[in-house]
Amino acid sequence: MMNEHWKKSTYSNGTGGNCVEARTIAQGAAVRDTQHRHLAELSLPNTEWSALLHALRSR
């Protein structure tokens, strides 16, 4: 199921710092830079998205 709604990282402090947004796509997830939303997004398959989340949570 496609999700057009981007979610900002909960680590974002809301002051325009280094933040990312993510959304669900059919193949996994898409990620983009909040300061440059218009430039591009990175699409990750489910396995890579899960691995990324696991690595970030392990920090």
User: SS3 sequence, the chain?
Assistant: CCCCCCEECCCCCCCCCCCEEEEEECCEEEEEEHHHCCCCCEEEEHHHHHHHHHHHHCC
Mean pLDDT computed over 10-21: 73
State residue 31's pLDDT score.
93
DSSP-derived pairing of the beta strands 7-8 and 28-33: unpaired
Q: Distance between CA atoms of 13 and 19, rounded to whole angstroms?
A: 8
Q: Distance between the two ends of the chain, CA-based, in angstroms?
A: 30
User: Does residue 3 register a pLDDT over 70?
Assistant: no
User: Does residue 20 register a pLDDT over 90?
Assistant: no
Higher pLDDT, 29 or 37: 29
